[in-house]
Amino acid sequence: MARTRLTQNQRKGRMGILFLAPWLIGFILLFALPIGESLRYSLSQLEMTTEGMSMNFIGFDNFQAAFTQHPSYNRVLTEAVIDMVVNVPLIIFFSLFSATLLNQKFRGRGLARAIFFLPVILASGALLGVEGGDILQNVMQSANSQQGDSMSLLKSFELERMLIESGANESIVSYLTDAVNRIYEIISRSGVQILIFLAGLQSISPSLYEAAKIEGATGYEAFWKITFPMISPLILTNVIYTVIDAFSSSQMTVLIQDTAFRTFQFGLSSAMSWIYFLCISIILFIMYSLISRKVFYYD
């Protein structure tokens, strides 16, 4: 008995690897190798010579330079991290809320869903390049780069000035206006999350709701007792996705890219991104361990 079980397990493992193999090969070649390379870059000084690149090992000098010598690295890093911590819960809340609404049956539902996904299509960068210098571009870009761009239509300068002049507490005012300024950002970053939640909502079996209905549950109860637990694995998914999305679209990435391709300090740029990467990993790890305890799996 024990023997057959073992062989079956082995067979299972082999089958699993077979299914995994094509993806894994591609992954190692195209993601794992480059990431390893970039770690090597971050520990060395890269120079362009006539024969290509030369690499000298210099230890942690690049990391030190990022913190102590670079003019704006520390500021951008803290801003990016704070931004992420504030935005992630807001985005999750908003997208779950919208997804539940969009999952109801009503006329023009497909169109409504498309509209909520629109910012993702518009912000894909490709269109921004095409749409040469007009308002659309300015709006989208200022929303993406989170800078107080004077062209932006959606910022609340006037409000802030008025409130401060009328004698309100400055820190409260700046928090409020900050939240208002974030609205567009949050909506425009929620497209993919809404989509993921929608897919999740559609995999909940209607029979559960049916049973709850027969037992006399209200819509509110049904949401908290059925929808919420059933969708909880996807809340975890979405938290991770949101962190990663914020990661790849923050000012930090722009700084890293500029360091690499404008000033050609490849080593420094790799070091910067490794530091950033470590910060995000820590945040992600904390969020993951907090949420995964609450996640419910139907079994």
Identified binder of another protein from the candidate list 142, 239, 276, 287, rule CB under 8 A: 276
Please name the amino acid found at residue 260: A
State which of positions 124-163 bind another protein (CB under 8 A): 124-127, 129-132, 134-136, 139-140
Q: Does 171 bind another protein (CB under 8 A)?
A: no
Q: Is 275 in the site for another protein (CB under 8 A)?
A: no
Q: Contact letters (x/-) for another protein, 91-120, by CB under 8 A?
A: -------x--xx-xxx---xxxxxxxxxxx
Bridge partner list, 44: 57
Buried b (16+ CB within 10 A) or exposed e, 19-44: eeeeeeeeeeeeeeeeeeebeebbbb
Tell me if 8 contacts another protein by CB under 8 A. Answer: no
Backbone angles phi, psi at 295, to 5 degrees: -70, 140
- Kindly state the helix (H) or strand (E) to which residue 55 belongs, with its residue range: strand 52-57
| HSE toward the beta carbon, residue 245, CA cutoff 13 A | 22
In angstroms, give the least distance from the CB of 27 to another protein: 5
Q: Does 228 bind another protein (CB under 8 A)?
A: no
Distances (CA, A) of 167 to 159, 163, 170, 171, 181: 13, 7, 8, 12, 21
Segment interacting with another protein (CB under 8 A) among 33-41, 55-63, 71-79, 159-167: 33-41
Of residues 33, 145, 176, the one with CA closest to residue 79: 145
Q: Which residues 231-250 are close enough to bind another protein by CB under 8 A?
A: 233-234, 236-237, 240-241, 243-244, 247-248
Considering the rule CB under 8 A, would residue 26 count as an interface residue with another protein? yes
Of 54-62, 80-88, 173-181, 227-235, which segment contacts another protein by CB under 8 A? Answer: 227-235
